[in-house]
Amino acid sequence: MEQMLALEMVRVTEAAAIASARFMGRGEKDGADRAAVEAMRRAMDEIEFAGRIVIGEGERDKAPMLYIGEKVGRREEDERRDAPEVDIAVDPLEGTNLVASGQAGAITVLAASEKGGLVNAPDTYLEKLCVGPVVAGKVDIRDSPTDNLRRIAEALGRRVNDITVVILDRPRHDALIAEVREAGARIKLISDGDLSAAISCAVSGTGVHAVMGIGGAPEGVITAAALRCLGGEIQARFRYRSDEERARGARMGHGDEDRVYSTEELASGENIVFAATGVTAGDLLQGVRFFGGGARTHSLTTTYRTKQVRFIDTVHMFDRDSPPRVRL
Ligand code: VTB
């Protein structure tokens, strides 16, 4: 089931990537996002499964599509066939600003699991520490960044100044950035996109060894799904900016800001499927390339149970009457 779903899910992230990549550099972040959402919704409805959005564009009254609780998939047929229920977490376009300004690192992302396998997270902040498989189990978010950097370096058989940490470029990270600099590690400050950076930690050759700092909680759950499949690790703590957020988090069972969530707690499913497609070129994935009559996309898909990671390079032909020449 997961293997089939993994390939179907790539078609969903590919469709969203092609649709949103048309918006590259146009300065319309909402348009880019809407294009990704609509393409994702359409592509999911072509798949025979009974999906339910658990992490999406927001609450029903705030998002016209891919809102939390929305059903996706070809349901009528599914009901007849008794198809398994699948929980879906989407980030239709991670890096709307990146696409709007034509910068690197935007991706379309989707994670799926059997019912209940992905934590319901409020749309608040999460403090994250993400590392790849070699370092998994050797860090602790409760310890200082300096200590963790030392352990990351040791696990990778390097010196701290050979480690690159990705941090979102935000004033809230001033102290973190200062400490990482003091410890001697290299930093890649990003304007957006800590999910893509976290996946990169688990893929050797991307030049990214850790992600530290505070970003979106829903994206943190999707990060956990990806890292669970790839053997990496995320440790996380909810971070609330107001009593309203804290109350909302508490209602979902996340009232304790000291609690450290593990990868397995955020994404506990046994049948996790993850897929991502590059929109603009980045460390992990190439962006969408358009040419006369078609486009080429670059994706990653992985499943927890089958222990497979596929990089998929797809040529999409838009018109069968005048198809592009497929190039190696
Ligand atoms: C964004 C985005 C990240 O967190 O920064 C967001 O770029 C929250 O941070 O990829 P701000 O409110 O400071 O923008 C992410 O969405 C994901 O964690």
Quickly list DSSP for 288-323: -EEETTEEEEEEEEEETTTTEEEEEEEEEES-SSSP
CA of 126 to the centre of ligand 1 (A): 10
Based on the fold, state whether residues 222 and 294 are members of the same structural domain: no
CA of 223 to the centre of ligand 1 (A): 13
Residue linked to tokens 């929980």 = 87
Who contacts 29 (Cβ-Cβ below 8 Å, separation ≥6)? Answer: 96, 97, 99, 100
CATH of the domain at 176: 3.40.190.90
* Ligand 1 contact via 194 beta carbon (within 6 Å): yes
Question: What is the average pLDDT across 299-309?
Answer: 94
Tens of pLDDT, residue by residue over 246-292, are 999 999 999 999 999 999 999 999 999 999 999 999 999 999 999 98
Q: What is the pLDDT of residue 123?
A: 92
CA of 192 to the centre of ligand 1 (A): 6
Amino acid at 84: P
CA of 80 to the centre of ligand 1 (A): 41
Based on the fold, state whether residues 23 and 94 are members of the same structural domain: yes
Q: How confident is the model at residue 156 (pLDDT cuts 50, 70, 90)?
A: very high
Based on the fold, state whether residues 40 and 141 are members of the same structural domain: no
Q: Tell me if 15 is assigned to some domain.
A: yes
Ligand 1 nearest atom to the CA of residue 190, by list position: 7
Q: Tell me if 323 is assigned to some domain.
A: no
Q: How many domains, in total, are found in the chain?
A: 2
CA distance to 12, 36, 51, per residue, from 20 (Å)? 12, 5, 23
Domain boundary among 266, 288, 303: 266
Question: What's the CA gap between 85 and 205, in Å, rounded?
Answer: 36
CA of 216 to the centre of ligand 1 (A): 5
Q: Tell me if 87 is assigned to some domain.
A: yes
Among left, alpha and beta (phi > 0; psi -120 to 50; other), residue 33 is: alpha
Ligand 1 nearest atom to the CA of residue 94, by list position: 10
Question: What's the CA gap between 296 and 318, in Å, rounded?
Answer: 11
Q: Quote the strand ranges of the chain, DSSP E.
A: 50-55, 71-72, 85-94, 107-114, 125-131, 164-168, 186-190, 210-216, 233-239, 273-278, 289-291, 294-303, 308-317
CA distance to 63, 82, 93, 130, 258, per residue, from 126 (Å)? 22, 37, 19, 12, 11
What percent of the chain clears pLDDT 90, i.e. is strictly above it?
Answer: 86
Q: How confident is the model at residue 321 (pLDDT cuts 50, 70, 90)?
A: confident
Based on the fold, state whether residues 262 and 303 are members of the same structural domain: no
Question: What's the CA gap between 145 and 262, in Å, rounded?
Answer: 18
Q: Whose CA is nearest to atom 7 of ligand 1?
A: 192
Q: Tell me if 16 is assigned to some domain.
A: yes
| Structure letter (DSSP) for residue 324 | P
Based on the fold, state whether residues 248 and 145 are members of the same structural domain: yes
* Ligand 1 contact via 33 beta carbon (within 6 Å): no
Based on the fold, state whether residues 43 and 144 are members of the same structural domain: no
Q: Tell me if 324 is assigned to some domain.
A: no
Q: Tell me if 328 is assigned to some domain.
A: no
Which range marks the domain in which residue 201 is found?
Answer: 125-266
Q: Tell me if 327 is assigned to some domain.
A: no
Based on the fold, state whether residues 13 and 71 are members of the same structural domain: yes
* Ligand 1 contact via 216 beta carbon (within 6 Å): yes
Q: Tell me if 302 is assigned to some domain.
A: yes
What pTM does this model have? 0.95
Based on the fold, state whether residues 168 and 58 are members of the same structural domain: no
Question: What's the CA gap between 232 and 253, in Å, rounded?
Answer: 25
* Ligand 1 contact via 105 beta carbon (within 6 Å): no
Torsion sign, CA atoms 109, 192, 295, 319: positive
Question: What's the CA gap between 263 and 118, in Å, rounded?
Answer: 10
Based on the fold, state whether residues 226 and 255 are members of the same structural domain: yes
Contact 215, 197 (CB under 8 A): no
Domain boundary among 224, 242, 266: 266
CB atoms closer than 10 angstroms to residue 38: 18
CATH of the domain at 307: 3.30.540.10
Tens of pLDDT, residue by residue over 205-250, are 999 999 999 999 999 999 999 999 999 999 999 999 999 999 999 9
Q: How confident is the model at residue 41 (pLDDT cuts 50, 70, 90)?
A: very high
Based on the fold, state whether residues 196 and 242 are members of the same structural domain: yes
Based on the fold, state whether residues 53 and 132 are members of the same structural domain: no
